[in-house]
Amino acid sequence: MKIKKHKQKSRLIVYQGDELLVFQKISNKLKYGLVGGFLKKEETPEDALIREAFEETGVQFLKEDLDYYSSFTVDWGNNQKLSKHYFVCKDPNKPFFLKEPDKFRKIEWVYWKDTMEYLGKSDRKVIKSLFKPCKINY
């Protein structure tokens, strides 16, 4: 089966202790999002994230500021796929601010469990895996 369309997104996870940096989306219902967006043609996931982070928050990252966390691909049907690449910010004390008020109401620190029902499904899974790692019982 030939893939007609394969889109990719990069996401940045920024956290301090048990608080997560999220955008509050402009919507009738409360919705949160992470920093990041779609890759442009010929961009690597890191390059796209660096570009998106600057566009959305004003923070200029270097590749060294990011730790790769995970990636996964979802089949959308109709020969379309979406891959998401997640990175963790090494320095959560950067001066993040909202640069796209037309897309988001605000950027804020929120207790990670309080973001769960308001994040998208895939972001929720990744955040949960970061904050609640598998515990091995002996």
CB atoms within 10 A of CB 75: 10
Q: Does domain 5-131 match CATH 3.40.720.10? A: no
One-letter amino acid of 118:
Y
The domain spans of the chain are: 5-131
Tens digits of residue pLDDT in 101-121: 999 999 999 999 999 999 999
Tens digits of residue pLDDT in 36-78: 999 999 999 999 999 999 999 999 999 999 999 999 998 877 8
Query: H helices within the chain, ranges in order?
Result: 45-57, 112-115, 121-131
pTM of the predicted structure, to 2 decimals:
0.90
